[in-house]
Amino acid sequence: MKKKMIPIGAICILGIILTGCTTNKANLESNSKQGSGISTSNNQSIEENNASSSSNSKAVTNATSSSEDFAISLADAITIYQKQYPDTDITSIDINDKFGTYFYEITGVDDNTEYEVDVNVTNGEFRLDREEALDNDEKEGVKRSQSKINFDNLLPLSEINTIALKEADGTIKEWSLEKELSTTYWEVTVSKDHQEINVSIDAQSGNVLETEVDD
C-alpha cells in the first residue's frame, strides 16, 4: 500500500491557518467578555437611575404631607380670597383634609358679615362654604379689628413646619393660623403613635408658645 506524502510547505501553511483561527477565537472571546462588561455597567447605571427616581418620588410624597408640595401656596390662596372679598379682613386660615383633599379654609369679615370659603390646594378652586351675619357685639368693625390677622413678616409655612417637627417628631396633619390679643400664631397638629400634638408657634418670630398633647 502506497502512503501519500504531504509536502512540508503545505504543512506550514496549515499550521499558520490553525494558529490564526485560534488567535481569532481568543480575540472573539475577549471581545465578548468586554462587551458583557459594558452591558453590565449600563444595566447598573439604569438601576441606579431607577433607584434615584424612586427616591425622588418618595421625597415628593413626603413633601406633600408637609405642605411644601401644594400646587397652590398660602399666598396664592390669600390672593384668590381677596379677589372675591376685597373689602374684608381675614380672621383665620385652616389647612385641613376634607374627604382626601386638602383645602385652605379661609374666614373673613366685613362690618356686618362673616364669610368662610374653601380654596383647593391642588387647583385653586374657590367655594363659598358659609355666610352669616355677625352678632351685634361683633358688628361695625369690632370683630375685624380684634381678630384681623397680621400678615406682616409672616414666616414661610415650610419654616413653621420645621419648627413644629422639632417639637414633635411625627406627621403634620393640620395647620391653623389665628390671632389672639396682639399675637398672630400657627397651631400645627402633629400625629405620632396614635396621639395628636398641637404646637403653637408665633407666626412672625417662630417662637414656640405652647405644646399640648391630646390623648
Q: Residues 38-63: what's their mean pLDDT?
A: 37
User: Are the CB atoms for 89 and 109 separated by under 8 Å?
Assistant: yes
* The pLDDT value given to residue 66: 55
Q: Compute how many other C-beta atoms are within 10 angstroms of the C-beta atom of residue 198.
A: 18
pLDDT value at 87 more than 80: yes
| Domains by residue range for the chain, with CATH | 65-148 (3.10.450.40), 150-215 (3.10.450.40)
Strand order in the sheet with 208-214: 126-133, 113-120, 101-109, 89-98, 171-180, 183-192, 195-202, 208-214
- pLDDT 10s digits, 3-28: 444 444 444 333 443 344 344 444 43
